A and B are shown apart, each in its own frame.
Chain A
């Protein structure tokens, strides 16, 4: 009887400790979430306020009167230097740049990974190591040689030129992603397909690509974020009319004279960040799944 009681007691004590720990954990997580959400909150509320209200009110209060004027200005009226067309043309520049660059670098990465993982040739490992090395070269180092190359190729200052730069720079990472994924696929699959009569591209297209959804998602998210958010290549290799959105955002924020329009700056920054946010929300769950995806059984 006594033993029973004390046992119960210690059990409930342990339970209580567990629950308390859980609550502490949630409280801590909530705190972190708040900490990270605060800047976004300030950005969104500020973008919805009028300049008048920003000047008189506090940073963290909700807008007394919600107005989308700042968003309109940011999208189609804000001045980037001498032109006052807002972010719109640059947004489309970034789309025209990011979509083909992401597509091409992912495709080439998939092909490279497929070769390095499943069609080993003499020196395959060396080539793969060199590609990996490419991931670690700082952007600044390649600026001058790349400018010279683009000039020689006649695509300096154009969107195709920027696409070229991003594809080249992305191949190292995309190859790494796909190689590590394909290495887990049994090589007997390639042998079986060879005996079945399929050639190099057929095996890639019919057998490896359909298996690759998780890693394609990872690569697309990674590449899209990199390319969309890139500023250095954008500012170095573009000219008026071909600048990506990050460069335009900088120009809007830094080239205004007189009163700083914080609401417009905030709205513009949110617009510039929306596409990457969108990609994460839509494909985020595949991202984690793809990063941890193991071997393919069967």
Chain B
């Protein structure tokens, strides 16, 4: 199938400042693409470029197989939901939703029919005659979605649509957007700085930093095999443990030494580490470090560590220790026997370990 959105070698400058550098993205119909990164990484600018609200400096942009590089936003067959919702304050909800159709000269009967459809879908019928100022945050959010849905476009664009909602409502709306994506089968591009939103919604994630794409992949790929230290650190909460380690090659496999706060270094064995340089950064997710006895199998190795802190979080308990001069976090079950100040045997599951080069930050395995 032809990609519905294809961005090739896109560059965007403001004066002499490069905002976006060499962006290449292609998505298939039905994809849910999430652009994620810290603030200032250029993700919103990229979305505005896709919408045609910002001209691009170089490269090309195709939507639905057509070259849209220099086409104005209204002719790109897109709809967009904004962070501040951007509802027209003097118009009723109904007029807000039908404004686009009115501007395009759609006849009144069709307008009414589509309005009724969307109002029913989003359950906002009782609100249709109200002004945006009389709505709560969640209701405004729905109306903004309604305005996008009614257009039935090739591509939906979302610019941090949930960041103005409180935590509870955010989770609710998140699953509603996901449900909407599944029922409509629509193609969506979604910008967020919230990596959990990215993980839960996306079929494909683009992690950005400083205007450069760090990694493109499915949520699982991004989570399990981050391409560099930035992605490893940014995605996942609590963040991946990134521990400086030394690799000693010894014929049949490699020995990995990690310094410990007290006593000698921890020594782990991992055949995957063969051929790696001496200095590496070892990345292991908190859930891949368990209490000894609760995780077994090939690749699981045990070592004793001093517990610095225990943080119960209900379902799990986070146990903090120091390894390689860094604080590391292990996710253990709630009834763990760990207590601060005493030692505990940790089980390291090396099946999912990542190795990074300390200087470049790139993934090594």
Contacts and interface: CB of A to CB of B under 8 A. Distances in A.
A64 interface: no
B80 interface: yes
B84 A186 contact: yes
A188 B88 contact: no
A191 interface: yes
B86 A297 contact: no
Contacts of B91: 210
A198 interface: yes
Contacts of A192: 80, 82, 86-88, 147
Interface string A61-89: 00000000000000000000000000000
Contacts of B100: 195-197
Interface in A171-194: 186, 188-189, 191-194
A289 to B, nearest CB: 16
A31 B314 CA distance: 70
Contact of B103 (A189, A198, A297, A298): A198
A186 B99 CA distance: 18
A211 B103 CA distance: 19
A189 B90 CA distance: 12
B88 A195 contact: no
B108 interface: no
Contact of B140 (A193, A195, A206, A298): A298
Contact of A191 (B72, B80, B87, B151): B80
A207 B132 CA distance: 13
A211 B89 contact: yes
A188 B89 contact: no
Contacts of B48: 191
B133 A195 contact: no
B83 A188 contact: yes
A22 interface: no
A188 B73 contact: no
Nearest to A209: B90
A195 B99 contact: no
B53 A196 contact: no
A296 interface: yes
A296 B72 CA distance: 27
Contacts of A210: 90-91
A298 B51 CA distance: 22
A296 B135 CA distance: 14
B131 interface: yes
Interface in A202-242: 202, 206-207, 210-211
B74 interface: yes
B289 interface: no
Interface string A132-154: 00000000000000000000000
Contact of B78 (A186, A195, A202, A298): A195
Name the residue among B90, B91, B133 with the largest chain A CB count within 10 angstroms.
Answer: B90
Contacts of A189: 86, 88
B104 interface: yes
A296 B91 CA distance: 13
A218 B97 CA distance: 32
Contacts of A296: 89
Given A298-B131, A298-B133, A195 B89 contact: no
B140 A191 contact: no
Interface in B115-158: 131-133, 135, 140, 147, 151
A195 B104 contact: no
B103 to A, nearest CB: 5
Nearest to B144: A192
A264 B147 CA distance: 64
Nearest to B51: A195
B102 to A, nearest CB: 9
A210 B48 CA distance: 27
Contacts of A197: 74, 100, 103-104
Contacts of A207: 88, 90
Contacts of B53: 191, 194-195
A194 B133 CA distance: 22
A189 B80 CA distance: 11
B90 A211 contact: yes
Interface string B61-85: 0000000000011100011101111
Nearest to B89: A298
A206 B100 CA distance: 12
A72 B72 CA distance: 64
Nearest to B105: A197
A196 B100 CA distance: 4
Nearest to B78: A195
A202 B48 CA distance: 21
B132 to A, nearest CB: 4
A196 B99 contact: yes
Contacts of B87: 192, 298
A297 B89 contact: yes
Contact of B88 (A193, A194, A297): A193
26 contacts: A186-B86, A188-B84, A191-B48, A191-B53, A191-B82, A191-B86, A192-B80, A192-B86, A192-B88, A192-B147, A194-B72, A194-B74, A195-B51, A195-B79, A195-B80, A195-B100, A196-B99, A196-B147, A196-B151, A197-B104, A206-B99, A211-B89, A211-B90, A296-B89, A298-B131, A298-B135
Interface of B: 48, 51, 53, 72-74, 78-80, 82-91, 99-100, 103-104, 131-133, 135, 140, 147, 151
Which 5 A-B pairs rank lowest in CB-CB distance, beginning with the nearest?
A196-B100, A298-B132, A197-B74, A188-B86, A192-B86
Interface of A: 186, 188-189, 191-198, 202, 206-207, 210-211, 296-298
Given A192-B87, A202-B103, A296-B89, 4 more contacts: A191-B48, A191-B86, A195-B74, A197-B74
